[in-house]
């Protein structure tokens, strides 16, 4: 494991050398290393909890908000999820070398479009120590070397987890620089990483707007943003209202500090008076602060709902707050989502296949749900083992960034002596 005892350029240079080894590895070697890593995680739960507890204690002293503390915190269940994710990644098909398509030209040349590793990937993330393991496992399986740059808030946790990865790499006879961790640096370190255009092929940031702004100012390396999530649940006029209640509550409350939690509830005018009093009371009882437009507040019954500001419709709260709006049509809901959403995850609750199709075709988001919670936008939930984050961009990758999203392609062409006239 490389750390900031070396310069950022030296860490990236070593990662580039490690990539040339990883790119040629067969599946058995990669999967064996991953299974070893999963076992090490399971065997070191107490140490992981102790290291993470130190980070959480410092975070509380420094006044981190509850959403960040939630992302920072590991418990036995989350650690078990990490090791399970690593095993699931090991069990997935190896994307490297997969033939996407192939054809034969009239001149007899046989063309194959194959998946290939991207190279050296920089992952920059805030608070979430599980990303250390997820990123290492996904990059290793997809044949990429990775340079990790976590936040100071999770420094002790990240160091321990990255150390486990190093142990597994060395046990497998693989270069430790395949997974490198930058530690202890500030904004200058981030700028240096973003300028390594000859050594780093892609940077994926997973964090807030401040991190993204910093990268946009300095990055010479291509960046794929794991974006924010201002997500919506829309209840259509023909919805099963009990289903709508369960979906809206889950999407907001199940884990409110994550990017696929719903921030806005939109309800068709024809069912607002029937649905909202009980649903808003339930949300309020769970600690959700509610703000809404005039019609939502008028339909709220005895539950207190504040007046939504213009900023509320554009805000990712990262916590127990929700904006509620009443719309006159499905088209109004789609227009609202496309205007105020971030293109992450949005859901409709409806009994109509036609309404579902209109919603899924009209909403311009990476994940669009029919009669299900937005909380499922996740690499693990999608059967991808884990994810680096969720991309709302449209070039290269969109949605959960998993194994295939960490590959590019190369064209392999076989001939029998053909030359171009």
Residue 395 pLDDT: 83
DSSP codes, 100-145 = EEEEE-TTS-EEEEEEEE--EEEEEESS-THHHHHHHHHHHHTT-E
72-97 confidence digits (pLDDT tens): 999 999 999 999 999 999 999 999 99
In the chain, the percentage of residues whose pLDDT exceeds 70 is 99
Residue 4 pLDDT: 45
349-363 confidence digits (pLDDT tens): 999 999 999 999 999
Residue 5 pLDDT: 67
- Identify the CATH class of 8-226: alpha beta
Residue 219 pLDDT: 92
Confidence check: pLDDT of 2 > 70: no
Structure tokens that stand for 251 in this block? 């999407």
Indicate the pLDDT class of residue 386, thresholds 50, 70 and 90.
confident
Q: Which residue has the higher pLDDT, 77 or 396?
A: 77
- In this prediction, residues 198-220 reach a mean pLDDT of 88
3-47 confidence digits (pLDDT tens): 446 899 999 999 999 999 999 999 999 999 999 999 999 999 999
Q: Which residue has the higher pLDDT, 151 or 122?
A: 122
Burial 135-154 (b: 16+ CB within 10 A, else e): bbbbbbbbbbbbbbbbbbbb
3-state secondary structure of 227: coil
Residue 240 pLDDT: 98
Helices 8-22 and 187-194: crossing angle in degrees, nearest 10, is 40
Q: d(Cα 124, Cα 205) in Å, to the nearest integer?
A: 5
- In this prediction, residues 162-169 reach a mean pLDDT of 98
Q: What is the dotted CATH code of the domain comprising 231-376?
A: 3.40.309.10
Confidence check: pLDDT of 66 > 80: yes
Q: Where are the domains of the chain?
A: 8-226, 231-376
Indicate the pLDDT class of residue 336, thresholds 50, 70 and 90.
very high
Q: d(Cα 346, Cα 315) in Å, to the nearest integer?
A: 15
Q: d(Cα 346, Cα 340) in Å, to the nearest integer?
A: 12
- In this prediction, residues 129-142 reach a mean pLDDT of 96
**Half-sphere exposure of residue 366: CA atoms within 13 angstroms, side-chain side:** 31
Query: What HEC string does 230-279 produce?
Result: CEEEEECCCCCHHHHHHHHHHHHHCCCCCCCCEEEEEEEHHHHHHHHHHH
- In this prediction, residues 92-115 reach a mean pLDDT of 97
- The answer to whether the beta carbons of residues 230 and 312 sit under 8 Å apart is no
Q: Which residue has the higher pLDDT, 297 or 70?
A: 297
Confidence check: pLDDT of 1 > 70: no
312 DSSP 8-state letter: G
Residue 186 pLDDT: 81
Question: How many distinct helices (H) and strands (E) make up the chain?
Answer: 14, 16
Neighbours of 32 (CB within 10 A): 15
Quick one: CA dihedral 288, 289, 292, 295, positive or negative? positive
279-331 confidence digits (pLDDT tens): 999 999 999 999 999 999 999 999 999 999 999 999 999 899 999 999 999 99
In the chain, the percentage of residues whose pLDDT exceeds 90 is 86
Indicate the pLDDT class of residue 214, thresholds 50, 70 and 90.
confident
């Amino acid at each position: 494991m490389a750390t900031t005892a070396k310069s950022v350029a030296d860490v990236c240079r070593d990662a580039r050398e490690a990539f040339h080894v990883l790119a040629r590895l067969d599946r058995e070697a990669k999967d064996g290393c991953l299974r070893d890593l999963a076992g090490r995680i399971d065997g070191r739960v107490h140490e992981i909890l102790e290291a993470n507890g130190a980070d959480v204690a410092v975070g509380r002293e420094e006044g981190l908000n509850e959403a960040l503390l939630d992302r920072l915190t590991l418990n036995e269940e989350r650690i078990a999820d990490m090791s399970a994710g690593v095993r699931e990644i090991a069990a997935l098909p190896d994307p490297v070398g997969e033939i996407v398509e192939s054809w034969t030209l009239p001149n007899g040349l046989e063309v194959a479009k194959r998946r290939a590793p991207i190279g050296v990937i920089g992952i920059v993330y805030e608070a979430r120590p599980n990303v250390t393991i997820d990123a290492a496992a996904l990059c290793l399986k997809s044949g990429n070397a990775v340079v990790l740059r976590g936040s100071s808030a999770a420094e002790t946790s990240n160091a321990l987890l990255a150390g486990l990865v190093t142990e597994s790499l060395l046990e497998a006879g693989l270069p430790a620089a395949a997974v490198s961790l930058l530690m202890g640096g500030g904004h200058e370190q981030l700028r240096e990483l973003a300028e390594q255009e000859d050594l780093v092929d892609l940077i994926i940031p997973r964090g807030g707007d401040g991190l993204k702004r910093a990268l946009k100012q300095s990055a010479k390396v291509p960046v794929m943003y794991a974006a924010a999530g201002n997500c919506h649940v829309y209840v259509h006029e023909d919805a099963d209202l009990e289903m709508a209640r369960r979906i809206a509550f889950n999407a907001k409350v199940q884990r409110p500090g994550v990017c696929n939690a719903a921030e806005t509830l939109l309800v068709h005018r024809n069912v607002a008076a029937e649905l909202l009093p009980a649903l808003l009371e339930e949300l309020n009882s769970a600690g959700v602060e509610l703000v809404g437009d005039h019609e939502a507040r008028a339909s709220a019954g005895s539950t207190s709902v504040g007046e939504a500001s213009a900023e509320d419709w554009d805000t990712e709260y990262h916590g127990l707050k929700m904006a509620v709006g009443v719309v006159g049509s499905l088209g109004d809901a789609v227009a609202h989502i496309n205007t105020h959403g971030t293109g992450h995850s949005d859901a409709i609750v409806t009994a109509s296949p036609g309404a579902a199709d209109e919603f899924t075709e009209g909403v311009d988001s990476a994940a669009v749900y029919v009669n299900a919670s937005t909380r499922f936008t996740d690499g693990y939930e999608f059967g991808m083992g884990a994810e680096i984050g969720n991309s709302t961009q449209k070039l290269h990758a969109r949605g959960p960034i998993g194994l295939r999203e960490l590959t590019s392609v190369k064209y392999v062409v076989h001939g029998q002596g053909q030359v171009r006239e």
